[in-house]
Structure 1
Amino acid sequence: MSALFHPLIDRFQRRITYLRLSVTDRCDLRCSYCIPKGFKGFEEPAHWLTFDEIERVVGLFAQLGVSRVRLTGGEPLLRRNLPDLARRLSALPGLADLSLSTNATQLAHHAAALRSAGVNRLNISLDSLSAERVAQISGRDSLPSVLAGLDAADKAGFQRIKINMVAMRGVNEADILPMAEFCLARGYTLRLIEAMPMGETGRNTDYLDLGPIREQLAARFDLRPQALELDGGPARYWSTADGRGQIGFITPISQHFCATCNRVRLSVDGTLYLCLGQEEKLELRPMLRGGADDATLIAALRDAIELKPERHTFVEQPEKIVRFMSLTGG
């Protein structure tokens, strides 16, 4: 292998193998912890990376050892012709896993095409099974369309579907147990997520420590810590005694996982963020549209990885990150 293509390893000896790729900052929901009601400061479509630009950047990342890509947003299914992009990315040499994070409101219309295009896995955001609570959190009664999306994903043949549930004190605590029962019964992996102080919306969300919740669920379902992580992501998983079901816990506040962080995020406008909770970044769009060759882009990516911080400071500086989650990219 040429020295040009040695893997991306940061100064803390973490190997970068995972790219979270935002294809839009738009969303059809207004979840209380994500986008403020009435927000209109979205990126101009002219500034979105084109499919050609995305394919080029992801191809370079793949040459540098990034083997996993997750399509995110906003809501990625609002980007026109997304299955076409998925098909192009899944064909790239070195890319072993292409997944999608979605709120599933549009999934019933696209599940079969996404599976055919090479999307391997789905993460679906759903914070309650109560229609009233879903409407309270997301801004509209989206539960029927989400459940229809889940049914379509099952029929399309997606395996190991994950349900992402942001746990919020005083909002949906009572919904955690019913969600766990629902997921285990249907063969989904539930992932409970601590709210992060991303922008004003994140800071206004009441944080819920998942430690006691994990103990309650472990007792209720006879869960055991799982030695092997699933898919190299941030969750710590606990499995049922028979190994057929898992519940994951993503704990950026109570028990951060920065020491094993293997990912970077590319926003819809071509900004590469090195850490969800810090400001280090690289603006790729000017280089892509300014005629930079591949060697120049690869050198820039390597320099950027050197800026990746050791850890976030959500606890020490909760007011630091003013950008919303949807603007960063899932």
Structure 2
Amino acid sequence: MEPDIATTLHPPGTLVDRYGRHVTYLRLSITDRCDFRCTYCMAEEMTFLPRSEVMSLEEALKVAKTFVGLGVSKLRLTGGEPLVRKNVMWLIERLGALPGLDNLVMTTNGSQLETHASALKSAGVKRLNISLDSLNRERFRKITRIGDLDKVLRGIAAATASGFRRTKLNTVMMRGVNDDEFIDLVRFAVDNGLDISFIEEMPLGDIQGRSQTHVSSEETRSRLGEHFSIVPSSENSGGPARYWRVADSETRVGFISPHSHNFCDSCNRVRVTAEGELYPCLGQNDALNLLPMLRSTQDDTALRQAIIDSMGIKPFGHEFAEQMQNPKVVRFMSMTGG
């Protein structure tokens, strides 16, 4: 049941939705393109957006500046794969220098980190999330369709060598696909001074069979408990993960559980896609197109007001559990931004 709608007036300089939740976290996609074709993220044969329909780097910077001016302090760059975007470092260097942006982070598949890790660190990126669903080369290639595991592992090593700490692996849990590797993935994280989050698969895009491959966070946590001493942690990275700590190590194990432990009541984030669509909720179809405002005037007033007004369409939550058999969000994860 939804709570009563908050009657608090919109405080200056902040984004507050109808339910009194403060939005302080923006996930900004800068491309729908990727050099992988992960089975849970996109179709094998994808039709990507025409270049003219994708925000320019200057437009993405304007969106970021406007959100930061409204109180957003954490920004995550996503894609597709953000590091395949041409001249991406131009944008990242400017984002890293934005006053008021305390936490610039990135989600990446790791394929380009061997080349870019040092520059990302110098530009002000604070932390990296790296998708890693398998340590088996053949299986990794099957999940990503075209990915090279060794290249990703070199990228992880390059991130560590460049000074990144608390780098987090993201593993999507898929029964019969990679659920026999969860123990090995945690050992890899511990051995390499990394964190890891296990993510329940989300019903986004026209991908069949998810109800058969779903693995709950409770099942994985119970299985890990047979091999590691893991204790609950009150730590928070500013996102949806709930963390446990592996005893006698620095490694945190997170669980992102949109099905089994809906985290909507504390949601603090919105997404902007590479084509400038603002989605207040990942699991709903309601969106606001910012691109016309970005291209019609140099004045940011209309853009700023539109972002404030978008808080009125942010729903209390999604219904991922109900959508496993019949997803109502037909866009692929790569189109929304990781």
Matched, 1:130 2:124: no
Question: Which residue of structure 1 lines up, in the alignment, with residue 71 of structure 2?
Answer: 65
Name the SS for the 1:123 alignment partner: strand
Kept in 1, the 8 Å contact 2:182–2:224? The answer is no
Question: Which residue of structure 1 lines up, in the alignment, with residue 22 of structure 2?
Answer: 15
Question: Which residue of structure 2 lines up, in the alignment, with residue 52 of structure 1?
Answer: 58
CA distance in 1, matches of 2:283, 2:323: 10
CA distance in 2, matches of 1:253, 1:202: 17
Kept in 2, the 8 Å contact 1:33–1:202? The answer is no
**1:4–1:257 CA distance, 2 compared to 1 (3 A):** closer
Per-residue CA distance 1:252-271 (angstroms, 9 max, x = gap) = 11111111111101101111
Per-residue CA distance 1:82-138 (angstroms, 9 max, x = gap) = 122111011111100111110011110111111111111000001010001101101
Name the SS for the 2:15 alignment partner: coil
Question: Which residue of structure 2 lines up, in the alignment, with residue 321 of structure 1?
Answer: 329
Matching of residues 55-204 of structure 1 within 5 Å: 55-201=61-207, 204=210
Kept in 1, the 8 Å contact 2:16–2:22? The answer is yes
Aligned pair count reads 326
Question: Which residue of structure 1 lines up, in the alignment, with residue 4 of structure 2?
Answer: none
Per-residue CA distance 1:299-319 (angstroms, 9 max, x = gap) = 111110111010011112342
Deviates more, 1:132-141 or 1:57-66: 132-141
Kept in 1, the 8 Å contact 2:190–2:249? The answer is no
CA distance in 2, matches of 1:242, 1:10: 41
Name the SS for the 1:71 alignment partner: strand
Which of the numbers 203, 209, 224 marks the counterpart of 1:217? 224
Matched, 1:276 2:285: no
CA distance in 1, matches of 2:270, 2:136: 34
Matched, 1:26 2:49: no
Per-residue CA distance 1:172-197 (angstroms, 9 max, x = gap) = 01111000000011110010001011
AA paired with 1:261? C
Name the SS for the 1:238 alignment partner: strand
AA paired with 1:301? I
AA paired with 1:329? G
Matched, 1:241 2:247: yes
Name the SS for the 1:116 alignment partner: helix
AA paired with 2:142? Q
Query: Structure 2: where are the runs of 5+ without partners?
Result: 1-9
Per-residue CA distance 1:200-220 (angstroms, 9 max, x = gap) = 127547211121210221342
Report the RMSD for the aligned CA atoms in angstroms. Answer: 1.5
Name the SS for the 1:173 alignment partner: coil
Identity %: 47
**1:141–1:57 CA distance, 2 compared to 1 (3 A):** closer
Query: Structure 1: where are the runs of 5+ without partners?
Result: none
**1:252–1:183 CA distance, 2 compared to 1 (3 A):** same
Deviation at 1:140, TM superposition (A): 2.5
**1:300–1:157 CA distance, 2 compared to 1 (3 A):** same
TM-score (norm 1): 0.95
Per-residue CA distance 1:135-173 (angstroms, 9 max, x = gap) = 110112510100010111111111100000001011001
Deviation at 1:243, TM superposition (A): 5.9
Name the SS for the 2:39 alignment partner: coil
